[in-house]
Structure 1
């Protein structure tokens, strides 16, 4: 039976879900759902092809993989080359290097591993990764290599019927278990990233398609009415998924079972006179692959050039559909015909030659696409290019909570007599360079300990909703360390409070058993501030002086990127300022709560306001960015800048060490 219309209809649902997310809708889970649907479809189609050929006895892995190359590679190659060409002329060199490196990993089908390795608190924004969407193609390709190999090796054990279903069921459960473990494991955000990007935790979605292929003939036992009901249920599942989950829902874990079940129900039903057979759905289904390839670079181009209004997003959506259709007509379909049949080897060589050209272009990242610059412009461009690495904090040695272990960081030559702790998130880490500078230039002895975890607010019972942080356990361990170490006289608490307490923030909760409240809600705010007060009073009771920092200014945009773009475009570069009042409006409740905690042994300090006049703050000075990204000040800048912290931190620290 020909299922092309059913497949196209479901593909249309998938690609429209992806477009719904990437061009401005509030259905945050739509992008996840679209990929899940594509995975199930892919597993279903591949399994049908492999099972049929195995049962006939004429299956070869070489022919199967070549068919996949014909299907996936030409359109992907064309998009990558087109984006390279665009980037060379319209993207400044630092961003272009990242674009080219990711393009290379996409062409070689390991981009999912690239993005998993890059995941982390200081990772660059996903909206500026031009080929981020190709991670799913890499996962599919890895599945295409391993899946048929396993089926061929074990074909004697996988006869049609129950043996095949049982084998696939075991693989499904093992992969699902891996996804769940990665999603609930709280020891490292990297593990959560692997759960999202890697084949072992994603294979169950494609194996679900294999299970559907192994049982699909059973549909003949269902009446037309039942099949319509199954399809309606599947579409309802898709709709429920779009509104039920948000961007912070651990994914895929078991949550992806819902869109997988939805896809399976729709494909199993193959209902007559289905809504999905409408010409509009068939059109989007036909161009779904090319449209998927094009939509993300278009969205990134708009974001990169700060074209963020609804009219630009509408234009981007229309451009994506047009490019997807043109690619389908002139690249995707002709390639399938040209590379199929006789002469396959010769044509394969021509495809590889074009691919080699693309790889060479990727390696040209070391070439400089800058126009000729004056000496001062070149200095500012180089300085802006290195700003992102100018943090000062030895993150490879200190901070975080890997595998449930504290990593205290020592400034000074006498760990045993360290009497000051700087405690907090990445905003606390910023002050490492200033502390180091101050204490090296004084003549005292002693030490300062940094206890930090980027992305974790320094409040008991407060947790990030994303998998992999484990903030509450870190906080508990840090307080125990402070109280048990002995000799600690001062604790300075620094945090990017607005990242957690804003009204529209959904990433941080206060937990009490199984109950939880967002910090942006009145009840969550009340419980979190009471918890902060308990922490501080507990330190007071231990005879420790506490210094609480209010929110420090930050621009919420990458000043160094703006500098590089301006120089690349030949624009005159003036110093950049930003209005911090929008941030202070959000931070006012938590700053007021912090101020209310002042007591004889609790002091409130205001860090970083040296860069502001009122609420107007500097993002650059003499053409140099003061920030390493959109939030964190550069270590080298803070090292030389007097601050309210200076009177608290005057100890000489000639070396860096890591406490056990």
Structure 2
């Protein structure tokens, strides 16, 4: 499934309620076992984020929290409605008191840390997320950002607030929906509720298979998780009175959660059907202790240390991720496990202080902290974050906070692909219907070549267009980021399902007698290896064969050869641009960060790393080069020598991330591109 880098780095949702309650007669009784369940959830998540390797599925803590929140909020609303005491203003006042103070503190602390640690381009990204986090739409914000060119998730300090957005959006809907179920829809509440639950689950399953990014972030594909808790609060699942049955249910629930935590991984398609395991497990644990008895699992979860962790879990959730994200940003691969564990200990200390001196006073404060004051304070916090966002983003990351020479370097270092030359087929946004929508070069010349490639083509296409115009040549620019320029993708799995429009258009143009040459440009090492570069997450990668690298290389090589043979059979020449070296760092960030620390000198990678990465590519290209009508050009012969491959040169960044060339990097290939155009021109 397609999963942005971002995805798994922040799979957690915080607890959102002050106390844990049970809908039981006329009272809401505190249930320490649910506080303990919150502790299990947050511990699983933070251990997962610390990358200690013992809980590969710890991200399912988000599902546990969602179920708990659905149960608690629905219990409170339905109980107050039954007693004719529900007040919408009081409901949202409690939410503001609970959520805003600690969240605002963490955002402010993160902004201060970012001003010291983040390079200007990264501070701009952070600035854009500030208002999204405080106004609870960060799930939408990050769903748009986490695309093909998105920065690494681990270094975005507020990425974890996406789950706050999901829960807050639930709070906007829950009171009205629950009151409707309790009043007008009461006779039909069960079939309507079941239909809505099934619809959300179906949407989530479909989204995981087709649009994993929005399925992960957006509320309609997560609603069924919260509804699992709501179902218990509404009494749609009858309470079991038999003690032994409850013991079995509680044990089964805990077993399901443990199974998901230990056996799920970042490659598990999620949420979708897989989310039912932790959701049902959490429901069983809550449900098994809803009568007057207490199960063994409930007693285990009610131990005082476990309950305390549950009580501070909201602050622990808020603090742990920014600490890990800033450390990952600052130290990268040198951040060892014991460093991460130390950061979690710091997060525990900060969460205990925040719970004691921020959360509890904010919840319990009486006059003069009236409801009007609470709402005014919440609005003020949002406006302050909006102002900070404008200051940081409009100020281009505030380079003035840096030394003058570092600020100048930051301003001159590009951080995104100049993708004007990438005309996408089958992609939302720029949607080309035919190659005529993607013509490049001299407008009066008859198109004589095709550029067919992925985002690596996008980095050089603007320069090709400029050089082709000067040479009075024109051509068509076809492709899409992340899509290997090959025929035969139809049977290669769903990860290539959005990559079929480009090959179809190329095949049509092979019948055009004016087209003489097809230029193939791609990130060949990625497709051949099916594994990430050192700076990438091991997900969202186009693989031909899962869990078999040799077979993946073989399939890639076969498809490349078949593609070349098909083009040659149409009478066209084939020009292949070989692989661009990949780096083990995000070049602009590393470049500017080094300057911020007073380190000068260019950033390089070992040439041996490039050679290893291209083991499945270079032999195939050498074989193809011997075919008549096939020419191969090698960018690495320009960007590398016998020892190193250069990421920067004379204090100029040659990349905009870890593998896409900057305009300066593309310009280094100008002699090679001129040779290609001269070959086309004949």
Question: What TM-score do the two structures reach when normalised by structure 1?
Answer: 0.88
Moved more, 120-129 or 91-100: 91-100
Distance 1:350 1:239, change over 3 A: closer
1:652–1:510 Cα change, 3 Å: closer
Partner of 1:218: 238
Q: Distance in 2 between matches of 1:34 and 1:195?
A: 17
2:257 is equivalent to residue 229 of structure 1: no
Seen in structure 2, the aligned counterparts of structure 1 residues 157 and 356 have a Cα distance that, compared at 3 Å, is same
Post-superposition offset of 1:594 = 3.0
Other-structure match for 1:388: 415
- Output aligned runs, 1:336-485, within 5 Å: 336-338=363-365, 343-350=370-377, 352-353=379-380, 356-365=383-392, 366=394, 368=398, 370-371=400-401, 373-374=403-404, 377-384=406-413, 387-389=414-416, 391-395=418-422, 398-399=424-425, 401-402=427-428, 408=435, 409-413=438-442, 417-442=446-471, 444=472, 446-462=473-489, 470-474=497-501, 476-485=503-512
Question: What whole-Å deviation, never above 9, does each CA across 1:573-621 have from its counterpart, x for those lacking one?
Answer: 2222221322321321232233223311233321243122124122112
* Residues 1:243 and 1:495: Cα distance change in structure 2 (over 3 Å): farther
Counterpart secondary structure, 1:470: helix
2:617 corresponds to 1:590: yes
Aligned to 1:656: none
Q: State whether structure 2 residue 331 is matched by structure 1 residue 301.
A: no
**Alpha-carbon spacing, 1:372–1:536, altered in 2? closer, same or farther (3 Å):** closer
Stretches of structure 2 lacking an aligned partner (at least 5 in a row) = 1-21, 23-28, 533-537
Could you tell me how far apart the structure 2 residues matched to 1:588 and 1:348 are? 61
Q: Deviations along 1:192-220, whole A, 9 cap, x unmatched?
A: 32222222222121111111222377333
**Aligned twin of 2:4:** none
Q: Is the 8 A contact 1:192 1:468 kept in 2?
A: no
Structure-2 change in CA distance of 1:522 and 1:239 (3 Å) = farther
Asked whether the 8 Å contact 1:388–1:628 carries over to 2, the reply is yes
Give the Cα separation in 2 of the matches to 1:406 and 1:29. Answer: 42
Q: Secondary structure at the match of 2:518?
A: strand
Contact in 1 for aligned 2:240/2:246 (Cα 8 Å) = no
Separation (CA, whole Å) in 1 of partners of 2:358 and 2:124: 27
1:48, CA displacement in angstroms?
0.8
Q: Which runs of 5 or more structure 1 residues have no equivalent in the other structure?
A: 186-190, 512-516, 654-660
Contact kept? 1:503, 1:520, Cα under 8 Å: no
Q: Does the CA-based 8 Å contact 1:424-1:451 persist in structure 2?
A: yes
Is structure 2 residue 126 aligned with structure 1 residue 99?
yes
Q: Once the two structures are superposed, what CA deviation does each residue of 1:526-581 show, in whole Å capped at 9, x if it has no partner?
A: 23322222222121211122223332213232222223224444x14222222132
Using the alignment, how far apart are the partners of 1:603 and 1:198 within structure 2? 47
Q: Provide closer, same or farther for how the CA distance between residues 52 and 468 of structure 1 changes in structure 2, counting only shifts above 3 A.
A: farther
Residues in 2 aligned to 1:53 and 1:523: alpha-carbon distance in whole angstroms: 61
Gap change, CA 1:135 and 1:466, over 3 Å in 2: farther
Aligned to 2:258: 239
Choose which of 537, 545, 553 in structure 2 pairs with 1:525.
553
Q: Secondary structure at the match of 2:331?
A: coil
Cα distance change on mapping 1:525 and 1:651 into 2, 3 Å = closer
Look up the SS of the partner of 1:589 in the other structure.
coil
Q: Does 1:323 align with 2:353?
A: no
Aligned to 2:451, the other structure's residue is in SS state strand
Which structure 2 residues correspond to residues 126-205 of structure 1 after superposition, within 5 A? Answer: 126-153=153-180, 155-159=182-186, 163-185=188-210, 191-205=211-225
Verify: 1:288 aligned to 2:313, yes or no.
yes
Deviations 1:622-655, CA, capped at 9 Å, x for gaps: 21211111111113441364343432224999xx
Distance in 1 between residues matched to 2:631 and 2:41, nearest whole Å: 54
User: For residues 242 and 424 of structure 1, what CA distance do their matches in structure 2 show?
Assistant: 39
Normalising by structure 2, report the TM-score.
0.85
Match status 1:604 vs 2:629: no
Distance in 2 between residues matched to 1:341 and 1:152, nearest whole Å: 31
Query: How many Å separate the matches in 2 of 1:231 and 1:439?
Result: 70
Q: Quote the RMSD (CA, aligned, Å).
A: 3.1
Question: C-alpha displacement at 1:38, in angstroms?
Answer: 1.0
CA distances 1:99-123 after superposition (whole Å, capped 9, x unpaired): 2331221111111111122231112
- Tell me the distance in 1 between the aligned counterparts of 2:148 and 2:83: 51
Provide the residue aligned with 2:281 in structure 1.
262
Q: Tell me by how many angstroms 1:72 deviates.
A: 1.3
Q: Which residues in structure 2 correspond to 1:104-123 (within 5 Å)?
A: 104-123=131-150
CA contact (8 A) 1:504 1:520 kept: no
User: d(CA) in 1 for partners of 2:170 and 2:260?
Assistant: 25
Q: Secondary structure at the match of 1:66?
A: helix
CA contact (8 A) 2:426 2:498 kept: no
Out of 565, 576, 589, the position equivalent to 1:548 is 576
Indicate yes or no: 2:606 matched with 1:579. yes
The verdict on how the C-alpha distance between 1:155 and 1:198 changes in structure 2, with shifts beyond 3 A counting, is same
Judge conservation of contact 2:580–2:659 (CA < 8 Å) in 1: no
**Structure-2 change in CA distance of 1:248 and 1:581 (3 Å):** same
* d(CA) in 1 for partners of 2:494, 2:73: 32
Assess if the C-alpha contact under 8 Å between 2:489 and 2:500 holds in 1: no
